[in-house]
Amino acid sequence: MSYIINPYRYGAGDDPPGGDYVEISTSATVEEDMYDSDYKYFVIDSTTSSAFTVTDAGSSSGSETIEVYLIAGGGGGGKTSTWPAAAGGGAGGYLRDLSYDNGGSLAQVYDVTIGAGQPADTNGDDSTLAPATSGSTLTAVGGGLGSGYSYNYEGNGGSGGGASAGGQEGVGTADQGNAGGDYFSWRASGGGGAGSAGDIAVSGQAGAGGD
């Protein structure tokens, strides 16, 4: 569960040209993209107050947005009080904003919350990017819990939890994840992933989790 910001892209040189390109101050290590050394990014992998500051919002002549990739915590698998299998939890939501400008108020301090994965029967925690002064918080939704026999919750989340016997698969969040798989007979299914839904269980075999 990591949080990635791709702060700026600019012409060759050690520093971005002043005024036209977004500039960011952070205590995190700024890395160069392995395919394009002019593309800089950093990773925040734990909850951090004042994780970074946009010191210059840039302009339309260069760049005035940043890229945000935000991953939430995964949901726990289901639990069961008897022999039928419990289903897998859904993956944490994967939020991608490739042109984030915070409604035109980009230049300010940002706090980052990294959601944790959770144990059985519990949804994953959300991850957030929160501007400290003004604007809207971005939220990647925690993964949905899996269902289990006699614990047939509908585990909605970033990606939905899978269904067990008699239960209902969870629904994923739009543009963040996919639904969990449906159950078959007494077989439980896999939770959804960012790339695909969880597999439906088949005779003699539980369903796999989504990609």
Query: Looking at residues 53-65, what average pLDDT do you find?
Result: 87
What number of helices (H) and strands (E) belong to the chain? 0, 10
pLDDT tens digits, 121-157? 889 999 999 999 999 899 999 998 888 766 667 788 8
Residue found by looking up tokens 């101050």 in the block: 25
Neighbours of 199 (CB within 10 A): 21
Band (pLDDT 50/70/90 cuts) for residue 101 is: very high
Instruction: Let me know: does 161 contact 170? Beta carbons within 8 Å.
Output: yes
Q: CA 158, CA 36: separation in Å to the nearest integer?
A: 31
| pLDDT range class, residue 197, cuts 50, 70, 90 | low
The mean predicted confidence, pLDDT, of the chain is: 79
